[in-house]
Every structure is written in structure tokens, then in C-alpha cells.
């Protein structure tokens, strides 16, 4: 018995399902509504001969090829019949309706196979079965006939095929039904969606959201890194400017901190450990985090008479006070706030001078 099939009107007919039994993966469709043909199509590349196939068959078909779908079942690649293509031709609209009927019965993943292929193939006899007062006869691996017993018998005789053998035992066994997927009409644009595609569809939006968040995080990281680099560059430029101010005769600057420490040591007889270089080394950890956050900008650094002057722009008074508190807590230097004024020329409105001894 054929478990699941489409009737002549395009409605699904299923045998009674046992509880717990899997849904049918193969649904048979009427062969009389399909054209099974074998034709020679030249060409080595699959894309070329598949494109040429409809035009080779055009004169043999009653309908415009634009209205038809060509499901390639097999192509012979060697021997005397190399280049011959076995193809099933069906109306696109009919195929779409069959697929919609499958979906309506929760069988969207089922294959649609011409019912003549539900019969086993034999090289000795033409196997056939009787289904709903019509005969399904399997004449070749990829061909068959259907009609009344009288009509099929006459056609078999005229074609010179093997003798007709009608027997219900010639139906393909259930365990071999999956092999019929190769003869399915659902190919190309009508192919069954793979499980991978279904999983990809389910994960599409979460994946898109994840990628969008990742892009925002990366963009934020890049912006913050650029800000930090800009702040570091401005700090280094001010340090170099101060070095040139203090030591105008130095022509080449390689390592500004090391060179500053060395020259101060020469000037002060080795007492530079508490001098400019050491003081800057202690102040940097306080200033750099605030600069990286965009809360602070160093406009100038001056070193005169063992006193360091920092000209700073800050987002608010609290930021300047925070610097003062941190330096005083560590007893690194004596710090005094000189003045704080609002500035309209920068996004950091608080300007101040800090003197460090």
C-alpha cells in the first residue's frame, strides 16, 4: 500500500497512521500529470547543459517552457548514452500547489516523487501494480507508464518492452523508500530546506543582534583607544616641549625621560632623584587615567627653580581636587590650587594651575 500520495485533484491522501510512527518522508504524485522523458543534451559543465535542457525539449512540450519546471533525475556520463538526461517535467503552478498541500498537513519536508517509481524495476519483466483502477508500470530506471490495464498492455507491446507483470508485491518496500529521494521533483528552487538552513534561519536574528552588539563594543573600544593615544601624544609633546625649554642645546631627543634624568644629574651633582624626572614619574599615574577618560587635558608643563607647574583643563572642579587629594595622600609633593576659571573654548570648562614642589 502506498502510504502517502496526492490524488488527481491535488489533495493529500494518507493511509491510517499508527500512533508514534514517523511522518512519511515520501509523498507520491500522479505520473499522468508529469512528463517523464529522456533526451540528449550536449555540454560538459552542468550549468551549461542544465540551461540548455528546456530549449532542447521545447518542441516536444505543449506548454511554454516558462510555465514548466524541469527536475533532472539523472544524467549519463559515460558509455554509448553519455550526455542523455532523464528529466521529469511538471507545471510550476501544480508543483507549488502540491508543496502548499504538504505544508497544510505539516509535511513541508516531504519529497514529491512520481507514483510510477513506487514500483520496483526489473530488467526481465515490466513490473506493475494496480492502484485505484489504474496500472503503474515501471519500464526503466527513470521511466514508467500509467493508465488503464488495457492501455498500458498495448503500449508495452508496441514499445517492445519486457512482458507486463502486475503484482502488488512489486511495490518498493518501506525500508527502501528513502532511496527514492533521488527521483524527487523537489529540486532547485523547490528543494526541501535542509536542517542546516532551518537552524540558520532560527539563529539569524540572535546572531545579527550579537554581531551588532559586538560591532558597537569594538567601535567603542577603538574610539577609546584613539582618545587615549591622542592624550598620550599630547602629553608626550608637552614633555618634549618642556625638555627643549630646559635644555635648548640638545639637538637629538631619543628617550626624553632618561635624557632629562641624566642632564639634571649633571647639573645637580647626582641629586636628581627627587627632581623633575622622579616627580613626573609619580604624577603620571594620577594624570593618565583621567586623560584617558577625557576628563583632563594638560595644556602645558613648566619646570623652574625646582617647582613644577601644570596648566590643566578639567571637566569640573572635582577632577582637579581629586588630583590634589591623591598627590597629598601619597605625600609625593606639596600641591596648591592656583586658580579655576570657566573656559568657553573647550569642552573641558574648568581651567587651573597646579604647583608641585
Question: Average pLDDT, whole number, for the chain?
Answer: 83
For 108-131, write each residue's pLDDT tens digit: 999 999 999 999 999 999 999 998
Q: What's the average model confidence in pLDDT over 45-58?
A: 92
Does pLDDT of 295 surpass 70?
A: yes
Q: Where in the chain is the domain with CATH 3.30.420.380?
A: 4-115+175-193
Please tell me the total number of residues recorded for the chain in this structure: 357
CATH architecture of 4-115+175-193: 2-Layer Sandwich (3.30)
What pLDDT band is residue 266 in, cutting at 50, 70 and 90? Answer: low
Q: Choose the weakest-confidence range: 5-9, 61-65, 198-202.
A: 198-202
Distance CA 19, CA 295 (A): 71
**Banded pLDDT at 197 (limits 50, 70, 90):** low
Residue 270 has pLDDT above 50, yes or no: no
Ranges of CATH 3.30.1360 domains, the chain: 271-356
Cell of 196: 542546516
How high is the pLDDT of residue 40? 94
Question: pTM of the entire structure?
Answer: 0.55
Integer Cα distance of 58 and 265 in angstroms: 98
Q: Which three cell numbers stand for residue 74?
A: 539523472
> What's the 3-state SS for the chain?
CCCEEECCCCCEEECCCCCCCCCCCEEEECHHHCEEEEEECCCCCHHHHHHHHHHHHHHHCCCCHHHEEEEEEEECCCCCCCCEEEEEEEEHHHHHHHHHHHHHCCCCCCEEEEHHHHECCCCCCEEEEEECCEEEEEEECCEEEEECHHHHHHHHHHHCCCCEEECHHHECCHHHHHHHHHHCCCCHHHCCCCHHHHHHHHHHHHHHHHHHHHHHHHHHHHHHHHHHHHHHHHHHHHHHHHHHHHCCCCCCCCCHHHHHHHHHHHHHCCCHHHCHHHHHHHHHHHHHHHHHCCCEEEEEEEEECCEEEEEEEECCHHHHHHHHHHHHHCCCCCEEEEEEEECCCCCCCEEEEEEEC
Asked if residue 350 has pLDDT above 90, the reply is no
Question: Given the DSSP bridges, would you call strands 126-131 and 35-40 parallel, antiparallel or unpaired?
Answer: unpaired
Over range 302-306, report the average pLDDT: 75
Q: What is the pLDDT of residue 195?
A: 53
In terms of phi and psi (left: phi > 0; alpha: psi -120 to 50; beta: otherwise), the region of 130 is beta
45 vs 79: CA distance, rounded Å = 18
| Average pLDDT over every residue of 249-257 | 75
Please state, in angstroms and rounded to a whole number, the distance separating the CA atoms of residues 113 and 33: 12
Instruction: Match domain 271-356 to its CATH number in 3.20.20, 1.10.10, 1.10.540, 3.30.1360.
Output: 3.30.1360
Q: Using one digit for the tens of pLDDT, what is the confidence trace for 54-70? A: 999 998 888 999 999 99
What percentage of residues in the chain have a pLDDT greater than 90? 41
- pLDDT, tens digit, for every residue of 209-227? 888 899 999 998 998 888 8
- Residues of CATH 3.30.420.370 domain(s) within the chain? 120-171
Q: What is the CATH number of domain 120-171?
A: 3.30.420.370
Rounded Cα distance, 14 and 139, in Å:
26
Amino acid at each position: 500500500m502506498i502510504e502517502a500520495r496526492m490524488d488527481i485533484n491535488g489533495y493529500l491522501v494518507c493511509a491510517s497512521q499508527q500512533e508514534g510512527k514517523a511522518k512519511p518522508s515520501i509523498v507520491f504524485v500522479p505520473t499522468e500529470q508529469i512528463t517523464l522523458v529522456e533526451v540528449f543534451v550536449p555540454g560538459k559543465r552542468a550549468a551549461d547543459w542544465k540551461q540548455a535542457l528546456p530549449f532542447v525539449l521545447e518542441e516536444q512540450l505543449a506548454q511554454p517552457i516558462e510555465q514548466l519546471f524541469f527536475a533532472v533525475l539523472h544524467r549519463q556520463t559515460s558509455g554509448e548514452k553519455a550526455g542523455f538526461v532523464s528529466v521529469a517535467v511538471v507545471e510550476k503552478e501544480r508543483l507549488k500547489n502540491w508543496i502548499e498541500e504538504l505544508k497544510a498537513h505539516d509535511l513541508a519536508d516531504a519529497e514529491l516523487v512520481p507514483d510510477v517509481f513506487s514500483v520496483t524495476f526489473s530488467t526481465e519483466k515490466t513490473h506493475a501494480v494496480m492502484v485505484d483502477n489504474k496500472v503503474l508500470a515501471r519500464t526503466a530506471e527513470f521511466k514508467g507508464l500509467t493508465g488503464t490495464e488495457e492501455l498500458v498492455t498495448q503500449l508495452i507491446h508496441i514499445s517492445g518492452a519486457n512482458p507486463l507483470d502486475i503484482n502488488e508485491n512489486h511495490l518498493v518496500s518501506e525500508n527502501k523508500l528513502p532511496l527514492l529521494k533521488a527521483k524527487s521533483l523537489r529540486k532547485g528552487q523547490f528543494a526541501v530546506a535542509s536542517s542546516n538552513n532551518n537552524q540558520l534561519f532560527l539563529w539569524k536574528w540572535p546572531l545579527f543582534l550579537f554581531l551588532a552588539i559586538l560591532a558597537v563594543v569594538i567601535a567603542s573600544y577603538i574610539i577609546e583607544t584613539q582618545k587615549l593615544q591622542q592624550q598620550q601624544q599630547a602629553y608626550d609633546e608637552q614633555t618634549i616641549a618642556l625638555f627643549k625649554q630646559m635644555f635648548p642645546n640638545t639637538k637629538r631627543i631619543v628617550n626624553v625621560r632618561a635624557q632629562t634624568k641624566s642632564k639634571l644629574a649633571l647639573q645637580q651633582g647626582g641629586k636628581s632623584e627627587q627632581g623633575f624626572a622622579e616627580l613626573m614619574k609619580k604624577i603620571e599615574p594620577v594624570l593618565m587615567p583621567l586623560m584617558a577618560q577625557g576628563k583632563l587635558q594638560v595644556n602645558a608643563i613648566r619646570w623652574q627653580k625646582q617647582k613644577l607647574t601644570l596648566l590643566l583643563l578639567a571637566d569640573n572642579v572635582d577632577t582637579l581636587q581629586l588630583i590634589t587629594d591623591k598627590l597629598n595622600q601619597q605625600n609625593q609633593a606639596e600641591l596648591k590650587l592656583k586658580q579655576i576659571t570657566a573656559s568657553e573654548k573647550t569642552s573641558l570648562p574648568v581651567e587651573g594651575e597646579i604647583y608641585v614642589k
